[in-house]
Amino acid sequence: MAKTQIISDLQSAIGKKWVLYAPEDLLVYEYDATIERGLPEAVVLPNSAEQVAASVRIARRHNVPVTARGAGTGLSGGAIPCEGGVVLVTSRLNRILEVDAENRIAVVEPGVINLDISRAVDPHGLYYAPDPSSQKVCTIGGNVAENSGGPHCLRYGMTTNHVLGLEIVTAEGEIVSLGGKTDTAGYDLTGIVVGSEGTLAIVTKVIVRLLHKPESTITILAIFDEVDEASQAASAMIAGGVLPAALEMMDKNTMEAVEPFINAGYPPDAGAVLLIEVEGLEEDAREQSEQVQAVCKELSAREIRIGLSPEDRERLWAGRKGALGALGRLTPSYYILDGVVPRTRLPEVLRGIYDACDRHGFRVANVFHAGDGNLHPNVMFDEREPGVTERVLKLGEEIMRLCVDADGSITGEHGVGSEKRSYMSWIFSEDDMTAMKRLKLAFSATDGFNPGKVFPTSKGCGEVSSRMKAAIAKVGPDAYV
């Protein structure tokens, strides 16, 4: 781009203070929470939908792409400017605009931190259910872009199940409302934008659904000698008719990292633990707890701990919530993966993951959402070692293939981003991808928003696969990735 002119235009639109272009400032925005990198040419920090729209129109006029960014906690490279251009940061759009406790909704801007919604509505006995492990720092805009999950999404659903409406800025710089505070007629355009990873529009307001806090919550920690036993228990309790609010697993390597940091009381010789939470009316929660404990005992749990008070439950959860941060005690770098498999296939796929990591010479820590089969292997390495990152990425591809071959998928909650775009042809046909291309064209997004994400591209982010080339050919000469 003609950098001087676009920077001048952006400064005129949103103020000199909020346009960054010095090399030392741009470095902060070249990465997210994965191991990908990409340097922007400018960064803007608008504080209103009108400023977002103005920034988009300026970028479009100069023919440069825009990549939206929230807190940068994403785990698939979704906020990385794969092809340079402008990074549009939503952190100043951080207001809770409305809380309607009677109708159980809130209207928030995309830069609002996930947990701050629950804190704001707590006096009304309400909360916002989707709870990514990064909920203390991740923002709602990023959650919407990635259709984020979390431990309690097993029972309550993903972000898309809790978003009623959106205000968006289109690639043409127009401000448009989708959905609303009640059910609306017509196509579910809100559902299309949620999970589109910033490739269709930039979100500037979100109408979220709130839930009543349960009357009773019981947290259970079941300790097992083997990962296989814990995996079988996770599958068995749901097959037996119990749907916990959360059902998480941590293996021995994860506990080794967590225990000195959190002091959660994990036995040093345990192979795995299940963290299970049940909730509802008091009698219902107690009955579910008894069923869960019976299944765990039947499948060789050697110890079961119960948390009834908020303090006890918080202590049991501390190890899970702090697991990823604690891995830094064991290794300078780690690469977190995100695949999904049927619950009944967990034991065999986990064995395959441990075997693959051994063959490639890497240690792995598994901490994941066992209830919905959403795996998160954390491959530990030192990125300062020459060639090691390429070896880790090759291992990651093998692990993703294990998931797909087990009738699973390449992502459960982290998104495709730039990380897994080359795997799309594993799970989608040429016709599938053609349909998705037509949808992107319908939003007039072309290459303007977050290029290099979700689909392979021919510009700067890898070669287009043969299947993708065929899909583009079907759409016609106006196709964009």
Residue 177 pairs with which residues in a beta bridge?
167
> Residues 147-152: what's their mean pLDDT?
94
> Residues 345-369: what's their mean pLDDT?
97
Residue with more model confidence, 329 or 50: 50
CATH number assigned to the domain with residue range 96-212, chosen from the 4 options 3.40.30.10, 3.30.830.10, 3.30.465.10, 3.40.50.1370: 3.30.465.10
**pLDDT band at residue 457, thresholds of 50, 70 and 90?**
low
Decide: 250 and 133 in contact? Cβ < 8 Å.
no
- DSSP states of 461-474 as a string? S-PPPHHHHHHHHH
Give me the CATH code for the 332-405 domain, please: 3.30.70.2740
- CA angle (336, 245, 340) in 5-degree steps: 35
- Does the pLDDT of residue 467 top 50, yes or no? no
**pLDDT band at residue 471, thresholds of 50, 70 and 90?**
very low
Query: Taken in order 338, 341, 342, 343, is the CA torsion positive or negative?
Result: negative
- Closest listed residue to residue 432, CA positions, set 397, 468, 387: 468
Model pTM?
0.91
Task: Say what the pLDDT of residue 469 is.
Answer: 41
Residue 205 pairs with which residues in a beta bridge?
167
Tens of pLDDT along 268-327? 889 999 999 999 999 999 999 999 999 999 999 999 999 999 988 988 898 888 888 888
Kindly report which listed range (62-71, 102-111, 429-438, 468-477) carries the lowest average pLDDT score. Answer: 468-477
Residue 136's contacts (CB-CB under 8 Å, 6 or more residues apart) are 113, 114, 115
- Does the pLDDT of residue 51 top 90, yes or no? yes
Task: Say what the pLDDT of residue 479 is.
Answer: 44
Q: Note whether 3-89 and 96-212 share their fold.
A: no
- Boundaries of every domain in the chain: 3-89, 96-212, 216-325, 332-405, 430-475
Residue 24's contacts (CB-CB under 8 Å, 6 or more residues apart) are none
Give me the CATH code for the 216-325 domain, please: 3.30.70.2190
Tens of pLDDT along 53-70? 999 999 999 999 999 999
Is beta strand 86-89 parallel, antiparallel or unpaired with respect to 42-44? parallel
The 66-69 sheet, strands edge to edge: 19-20, 42-44, 86-89, 66-69
The CA distance from 437 to 178, in Å, is 21
Question: Topology of domain 3-89, per CATH?
Answer: 3.30.43
User: What is the Cα 441 distance to its own chain's centre?
Assistant: 25
